[in-house]
Amino acid sequence: MKPTLCLLLVSAVLLTGCARRYVITLQNGMRVTTVGKPQLQDGQYVFKDTKGQPGAISSGRVREIAPASMAREPNSQFLK
């Protein structure tokens, strides 16, 4: 009983770490939050948004891609 419970807990912890959120900041300042790291394919970043819908943004429109925990705030003094 205990080994099964431990295995389930470890599995749950590992699986929750896989769905990492990223923030794509565009040249015009707009931000898009994604689930998982966007992948560059044929000059576009392909991703899934927070609702699970697929999306793509031209790489020329992207200023920054960063994990949500490290993304800069739009009005940050360090943005300059």
Residue 76 pLDDT: 56
Q: Over the stretch 23-63, which tens digit does the pLDDT of each residue have? A: 999 999 999 999 999 999 999 999 999 999 999 999 999 99
Q: Which CATH architecture has domain 19-71?
A: Roll (2.30)
- At 78, is the pLDDT very low, low, confident or very high (cuts 50, 70, 90)? low
What whole-number distance in Å separates Cα of residue 26 and Cα of residue 78?
17
Residue 39 pLDDT: 97
- For the chain, give every domain's residue range: 19-71
3 state DSSP class of 69:
coil
pTM for the model:
0.68
Residue 4 pLDDT: 74
- Under 8 Å between Cβ of 66 and 77: no
Q: Over the stretch 46-56, which tens digit does the pLDDT of each residue have? A: 999 999 999 99
> Residue 44's closest CA among 62, 29, 28?
62
- At 5, is the pLDDT very low, low, confident or very high (cuts 50, 70, 90)? low
Q: Which amino acid appears at position 26 of this protein?
A: L
